Structure 1
Amino acid sequence: MTDYHSQIQTEAARLAALAGDLSVPVPTCPGWTLAELITHVGQTHRWATHVLRNQVRERIWSRQVPGDLAEGENGDADWLAAGAAELLETLRATDPSMTVWTWGPDERASWWPRRILFELVIHRADAELALGADPAIPAETAIDGVEEFLHNLPHAAWVTRRLAELGAEGATIHLHANDADGEWTITQGPAGKITWARGHAKGDVAVQGPVADLLLLLYGRRSPDALTVYGDRALLDRWLAAAAF
């Protein structure tokens, strides 16, 4: 079983260590500085903690949960670390099989650690890119991240609405890691929903590259120009623009 708790602890510490000059703009999150990014991540931690501690079963969004900040105030490294520690304590004390609200397909507490990990991984990458560093994501983590993204995507209504507008039903996108055992084919279905399968296949467009870059590509943090693309590049560009969280 994947130790998401330890990975969350590591990623939260890495992000907190990047939260020095909070005025630095974050190009991959247009309009945000590091202050807004830190606040977003820390608020997400407090949201998950609230859902789990209170065994929430009705939809509740992050903005509805108190963030321990004054109106208009942003969080900092210490505030981020405090929220992450509280969340980890809660996760370790929670039965993974407990029924709680999630926005994904799994209405169990076990959905949250994996989601929180990749929220941290991607936003840590945002911070590193903002500071001129190249994000490093272990291949095993990136493979899990690709599949976590695809697992949840059909349930992200704000994304499926955009995908439905593409008129691309039946289109296929193949992702092929060249540094790890990872291949996936995404098929665009009706109403913006997708299906996906592991393994080698031909697609209308195929993208090949390091698996960490494939993960960042799905989240709109890496341009297809940094990878090898075969087939319908226009389809890929349109799909990625609509699908990115």
Structure 2
Amino acid sequence: MLDFDRYFVEFEAETARLARLAHDTDVQRPIPTCPGWTLEQLVGHVGRGHRWAAEIIRRRLLEPVPIQEVVVPVDPDERSEWLMAGAWMLGDAVRVAGPEQPVWTWQKDRSAGFWLRRMLHDEVVHRFDAELALGIEGDLAADLAADGVSDMLDTAATLSRPDIGVSSAFASLAGAGESLQFVAIDADLGSGREWSVTRSPAGVTWRHGPHRAHVTVRGPALQLVLLLNRRLTVGTADVEIIGDQELFAHWLSNSRF
């Protein structure tokens, strides 16, 4: 994980980037990486998530609440302000409560800080959704992209468990000892650039560090996080896949969030 001050800064910056895109673009533009969505629906999804998480933290809730419907403003200025306002609600809620405040989450990390990190990485992916729809080649700091890989693997570890009590698209990732390794090749990452993943009957587990694996996927951290979130394909991502390609194809087909 990164320092929480960094999460606050990056969260506001990512929201501002998406707000600019939503301000300057026809919001009825389709988003190919989110089939059936327009930019307006993408913005609504992000802004609704900010407000929902903020309510959970602000009220110190230990159980989830329904996600409320929202109306995305038509006026471009108001739309950008609305999106930023949701981010400020969430950021302020975490600051007031403190990142360690116990609240409901759907992962084993039951803290207010979970929501800041999770919503940041959700928004990073959706910012790329908007940029890919516009033909823009976006960027992201390597350490933030690497943290996004860890966040995605945390999601897989939780939602692949057969004991979670809900139906999950990740359930088929439970396995019989199959192993995968993801390696970020960015020179400035230092430690924490390797993720070793094991599929067991109890679900997915992962740790940092090297490991002999059935399949290894190597590339820049940004390419890895976009590939794992299916915003790039095996054919379009700048990665090298070594070993059992079918095993990795199965992972991608069964990790839709």
TM-score, L = length of structure 2: 0.85
The amino acid that maps onto 1:200 is P
The answer to whether the aligner puts 1:237 opposite 2:238 as a matched pair is no
Q: Does 1:141 align with 2:139?
A: no
Name 1:190's counterpart in structure 2: 201
In structure 1, distance between residues paired with 2:70 and 2:195: 41
- Tell me the CA shift for residue 95 of structure 1: 2.2
| Residues paired across the two proteins, number | 237
| 1:36-55 aligned within 5 A | 36-55=41-60
Moved over 4 A (4+): 157-160
Which of 213, 219, 222 is the aligned partner of 2:229? 219
Corresponding residue of 1:123: 126
Q: Give 3-state SS (helix, strand or coil) of 1:133's partner.
A: coil
Q: 1:149 to 1:158 in 2, by over 3 A?
A: farther
Deviation per CA, 1:96-148: give whole Å up to 9, x if none: 22211001111121211111110111111111111111221110101111112
Structure 1 158/17 Cα, relative in aligned 2: closer, same or farther at 3 Å? farther
Q: Is the 8 A contact 1:159 1:242 kept in 2?
A: no
> Is 1:169 matched with 2:176?
yes
Tell me if the contact between 2:90 and 2:116 (Cα under 8 Å) persists in the aligned partners: no
The answer for the alignment partner of 1:27 in structure 2 is 32
Distance 1:166 1:212, change over 3 A: closer
Tell me, in whole angstroms, the C-alpha distance in 2 between the residues paired with 1:203 and 1:160.
28
Please give the secondary structure, in 1, of the residue aligned with 2:8. Answer: helix
CA distance in 1, matches of 2:223, 2:165: 24
Mapping for residues 8-157 of structure 1, pairs under 5 Å: 8-19=11-22, 20-60=25-65, 64-69=66-71, 76-156=79-159
1-side partners of 2:209 and 2:113: how far apart? 26
Residues 141-188 of structure 1 deviation map (CA, whole Å, 9 limit, x = unaligned): 011111122223222369984444367421111111111441111111
Q: Which secondary structure does the structure 2 equivalent of 1:37 belong to?
A: helix
Deviates more, 1:118-127 or 1:146-155: 146-155
The change in CA–CA distance for 1:175 and 1:138 in structure 2 (over 3 A counts) is same
Gaps of 5+ in 2: 73-77
SS in 1 for 2:112: coil
Change over 3 Å in CA distance of 1:123–1:236 after alignment to 2: same
Aligned CA distance change for structure 1 residues 6 and 154 (closer, same or farther; 3 Å): same
Aligned-pair distance for 1:65? 3.5
Q: Residue type matched to 2:201 in 1? A: P
Secondary structure, aligned partner of 1:98: coil
Q: Quote the Cα distance in structure 1 between the aligned partners of 2:111 and 2:205.
A: 22
Identify if the C-alpha distance between structure 1 residues 158 and 242 changes in structure 2 by more than 3 Å, giving closer, same or farther.
Answer: farther
Question: TM-score of the superposition, structure 1-length normalised?
Answer: 0.89
